[in-house]
Amino acid sequence: MRIAAVQTLMGLSPGVTVPAAEAAMETAMQAADRPDFLILPEYFSYYGLDQKHSVELAQPLHETPAFRMAKAFAKRHKVGLQAGTILAKVPGEERVENISVVFDRQGEEIAVYRKIHLFDMGDLGSGAFRESNYIKPGEAIVTWEFEGLTFGTAICFDVRFPELFRALRLKGAEVITLPAAYTMVTGEAHWELLARARAAETQCHFIACGLGGTVVVDGQEKGCYGHSVIVDAWGKVVARAGQGAEIISAKLDMENLHSVRNNMPVMKQRRLTGDAVTGF
């Protein structure tokens, strides 16, 4: 199976960013090695600069331009597709949800994941963030089957919580995806390090698709790190992007994954299980 991470750029309007994401995926599908599965970044449809902007633009999930475009694209091209993340209204709530939807080759929903760990941090050099002020966290750990492989997913800040990824492996994950929109400061420090660590410790293929580019608001430039990576089950980076709009792809080496797991059977060697480690 060949997977492509379609790294798109920050944008403030779905009227611009959704068509740009569709055009980028069209390019990916024209490659000589046509992908079987595509992944977009977190916030590919728009980057909300603050709580007010994010909530005002949100619609019910199935009514968003991003959802409609992704569903139609998967069906039209007969390709699996993970629609990065979409901010969607929650009935009866002032907050929104940050949702990743997966479609099969017929354009049917096969998985929906809501970001569990929200990005709340002080100013480390790129401004303070508090996603919990306007985003409702999810609770469910999500896996799905696609053409004989078991996928699991997480979103951006989730990557700092290894217990989630151990849970995905315990649920049978062989491939883990991570749509993200890392800041420049945290990305330069930890992005690839964490992607490789999560791949190596779970012995899964790990596809981290990051939002890239910059926007200028009130004279200030804000940027996302990009640098999407595809990492194999040994923790080796097999494809890497820069900060701009870019498509990377790789064929998943399942023989290597099984060799890694057979020769280093960490799931059988675990000592701290059940009540000994909460969530494991």
Tell me what pLDDT residue 128 has: 65
Tell me what pLDDT residue 50 has: 66
Mean pLDDT of the chain: 93
Residue 147 annotated among the catalytic residues of the structure: no
DSSP reduced 3-state for 210: strand
Residue 115 annotated among the catalytic residues of the structure: yes
Give the tokens for residue 220.
């200030």
The residue ranges of DSSP E strands in the chain, in sequence order, are 2-7, 37-39, 80-82, 86-89, 96-103, 109-114, 120-121, 129-130, 143-146, 149-153, 175-180, 205-210, 214-217, 220-223, 229-231, 237-240, 246-251
Residue 22 annotated among the catalytic residues of the structure: no
Give the tokens for residue 160.
């700092």
Instruction: Read off the pLDDT of each residue in 251-274 and give the average, rounded to a whole number.
Output: 93
Which of 42, 97, 131, 246 is an active site residue?
A: 42
Instruction: Read off the pLDDT of each residue in 7-28 and give the average, rounded to a whole number.
Output: 95
Which of 22, 136, 156, 246 is an active site residue?
A: 156
| pLDDT of 252 over the 90 cut | yes
In whole angstroms, how far apart are CA 260 and each of 65, 165, 193, 233, 272? 41, 17, 20, 7, 21
Q: Cα(first)–Cα(last) distance of the chain, in Å?
A: 29
Cβ contacts of 266 within 8 Å, gap of 6 or more: 201, 203
In whole angstroms, how far apart are CA 144 and each of 48, 70, 148, 151, 171? 29, 18, 10, 5, 10
Residue 65's CB: how many other CB atoms inside 10 A? 17
Give the tokens for residue 76.
């039209």
Higher-confidence position of 19 and 48: 19
Confidence of residue 148 (pLDDT cuts 50, 70, 90): very high
Tell me what pLDDT residue 93 has: 86
pTM of the predicted protein model: 0.94
Tell me what pLDDT residue 127 has: 63
Which of 71, 89, 115, 136 is an active site residue?
A: 115
Q: At what angle do helices 14-29 and 65-77 cross, to 10 degrees?
A: 10
Q: At what angle do helices 162-170 and 184-202 cross, to 10 degrees?
A: 30
